[in-house]
Every structure is written in C-alpha cells, then in structure tokens.
Homo-oligomer: A and B are copies of this chain.
Amino acid sequence: MASSSSGEFDLIARYFSRPVRRSPLGGGDDCALLAPAAGMQLAVSSDMLVEGRHFLSTVDPASLGHKALAVNLSDLAACGAKPLAFTLALALPAMDGDWLQRFSQGLYALADAHGCELVGGDTTRGPLNICITVFGEVPAGQALLRSGARAGDELWVSGTLGDARLALEVFRGTAQVPSEVFAAARARMEGPTPRVALGLALRGVASSAIDLSDGLAGDLGHVLKASGVGATLDADAAAQCVAARAQQPALLDAAGWRQLALAGGDDYELAFTAPPAAHEAVLAAAQASGTAATRIGRIEAEPGLRIVDGRGQAIANERFASFDHFG
C-alpha cells in the first residue's frame, strides 16, 4: 500500500515529496531503505496521535505537525539516539490542501531542525489519525534504557512539568489563568520540545532515562519496575519545574502545583537517573544542550515510589496516579 492510488499519490507528491539524502532509496518505492553506519544500532519508535485524545480539534495544523513528530523524537531522546528518518501514515477525513500545507510546514520545520528525513508513508481517508515511526541511531550498547537505574542514583528531570496539562484544563474550562500564563502553557501543550540534544549528551552519563508523556509519577514507575528499584521523589522540587508557577505563584496551592507536576502528562521531558559521581557531568550535559535539569529525588533499593514534600514528609500516593489515555 505504499503504492498509493492516484489522488493519494498526488497528495503525497505535493506536500511530502522532497529529495531524500540519508536513505539509499528515497520515498516512493514500496519500502524505504536505511543503512545504519557500522557499529550503530537503529532505535525505532511508533506513536499514534488521535484527535480529542492527543490534540484538540482547534489546534493549528502546523502545531499538530510539530507535535506529531516531537512526541516521537522524544522517544529517541530518551534512548540517547540521534534522529535519522521517519515514516508518516496519515488518515484524513477529507483532502484539505490548506490543512496539509500547514501540517507539513510544522512537521518539516521540526524535522529539519533535527536532520530527520521523511522516507516513506501512507495516506488514506478516515477519521484524523497521525502515526509516525521514527528512526535514530545509537552506538551499539550505549542506548539509555529504562532498566539501568541503581540504588543511590540521583533522579533528575529536564525542562518544565505540568504546563501542558494546565493549558488543557483551561481549554476544558476547569481552570482560569491570565492570558500570558495561558499563552506560555499552550505553547508547551501544542509545541513540546523533544530533548534530543540532552539525550545525546547524557549517553555515558545517565544510568537510565524515559520520556514523560503520561505524567512523571506514572512514567517513573516504568523505570523503577524495569530497573528493579524504588525511589523517593521530592514533589516540591518537581513542582518548582512548573513554569506557570513562576509566573503566577498564587494560582494553585502547594498540593495543586505538585499534582500538576507529577500527574499532568504531555510533558515530553526526560526523567533520568545518574550516579552521584556524575552530578557535575549531568549539569554539564544540561548546560551543553541548553536544557534545564533539576534533581528531584533519589533511587533506592526498596521497591516502590515514595513521594515526599520539600521537608521530606510523606505525601499520599493516590493523588499522583498517571492520567490514563483510556481513562
């Protein structure tokens, strides 16, 4: 079906055909061909975006094009892989040239910024659905995995947390914020920044990493399980990562900020661990990649996630369950 029907083919040709440099064979054949360099492994991830679940119908198509690729690049970042190429499968309710022009503009802008080439795909009519599979390369044995966290490691998070969720709650009508706070939060929701440069800089430094899509507390649970460890997480340190808090501290109480940071979701930041001896190396990696890194806790041998406040007092766990895409 990479052999497209005629209308489909015209559509692909118009908006999604560009010379492909990295693949030995460009788009337009049954398959794309990829040739990882010697000693490199190919990191692969697929993410599907559905209207109403991953984006609102009101989103600018350019932002949607950006976000569809960004959430995939975020998975490469979490593995410390360098982006190479991607395929795009699109189901569209109708042929809309303006929409496609905007969508491809946002998509290509981010792809170009990361040297990541569109090498193939599929388009069909159907309820709006965007499925991207992204390919990156990483030296054999150097990928950052979820399973590498060890007792004693420091726990870190990149960038900002919870702002995307805050914007979503404003859209839903459950929160009201000043317009400048909303603008910033909305930019985080619609235009997440995949932490590719940080992921690359953390190779050989971090012991484990994961990208945050469903919320810090829930996603961190995957690392703990895969690594066979536990953690103590300072919820107030995490709450300091909510950008809106600096803009409007009185918007929520302490518990509200914590919940936004730990269970907000849609952050596309990296949570990662590193031995204390690598503390300065983490800060150097963050600085080199122009990304904030905040220490928010510690990995421990005892299984489970213990959430504490800034004074080390335990906080009930239930309020930080990850928001569920099937919820």
Residue positions of A touching B, CB distance < 8 A:
1-9, 11, 24-25, 28-36, 38, 41-48, 50-54, 71, 74-76, 78-79, 81, 87-91, 95, 119-122, 124-127, 129, 131, 133, 135-136, 138, 140, 143, 145-147, 209-214, 218-219, 222, 226, 321-327
| Contact status A135-B44, CB under 8 Å | yes
Question: Which of A3, A24, A53, A326 counts the most B-chain CB atoms under 10 A from its CB?
Answer: A3
| Contact status A47-B126, CB under 8 Å | no
What is the count of identical protomers in the complex? 2
Once bound together, how far apart are the Cα atoms of A126 and B184, in whole Å? 28
Chain B residues whose CB sits within 8 angstroms of the CB of A136 once the complex forms: 31
Once bound together, how far apart are the Cα atoms of A211 and B213, in whole Å? 37
Which of B42, B48, B146 sits near A91, CB closer than 8 Å? B48
| Contact status B124-A44, CB under 8 Å | no
| Distance from A73 Cβ to chain B, minimum over Cβ atoms (Å) | 11
Chain B residues whose CB sits within 8 angstroms of the CB of A127 once the complex forms: 50, 126-127, 129
Which of B34, B53, B125, B145 sits near A41, CB closer than 8 Å? B34
Interface majority SS (helix, strand, loop, mixed), chain A: mixed
Give 20 A-B pairs besides A3-B212, A29-B147, A44-B87 with Cβ atoms closer than 8 angstroms: A1-B74, A3-B213, A3-B222, A4-B325, A5-B218, A5-B326, A7-B326, A8-B325, A31-B78, A33-B143, A36-B42, A46-B87, A46-B122, A50-B91, A52-B126, A53-B125, A53-B126, A126-B129, A127-B129, A129-B129
| Contact status A31-B3, CB under 8 Å | no
| Contact status A53-B131, CB under 8 Å | no
Once bound together, how far apart are the Cα atoms of A121 and B48, in whole Å? 9
Given contacts A7-B327, A33-B43, A35-B42, contact A213 B126 (CB under 8 A): no
| Contact status A2-B327, CB under 8 Å | no
Which of B5, B53, B75 sits near A327, CB closer than 8 Å? B5
| Contact status B5-A48, CB under 8 Å | no
| Contact status B36-A36, CB under 8 Å | yes
Chain B residues whose CB sits within 8 angstroms of the CB of A226 once the complex forms: 28-29
CB nearest neighbor in B for A326: B7
| Distance from A68 Cβ to chain B, minimum over Cβ atoms (Å) | 11
Once bound together, how far apart are the Cα atoms of A125 and B296, in whole Å? 32
| Contact status A79-B30, CB under 8 Å | yes
CB nearest neighbor in B for A323: B5
| Contact status A31-B88, CB under 8 Å | no
| Distance from A222 Cβ to chain B, minimum over Cβ atoms (Å) | 6
Once bound together, how far apart are the Cα atoms of A2 and B47, in whole Å? 7
| Contact status A1-B88, CB under 8 Å | no
| Distance from A275 Cβ to chain B, minimum over Cβ atoms (Å) | 20
Chain B residues whose CB sits within 8 angstroms of the CB of A122 once the complex forms: 46-48
Which of B9, B81, B324 sits near A31, CB closer than 8 Å? B81
| Contact status A30-B321, CB under 8 Å | no
CB nearest neighbor in B for A146: B29
| Distance from A269 Cβ to chain B, minimum over Cβ atoms (Å) | 12
Question: Which of A31, A120, A325 counts the most B-chain CB atoms under 10 A from its CB?
Answer: A31
| Distance from A122 Cβ to chain B, minimum over Cβ atoms (Å) | 5
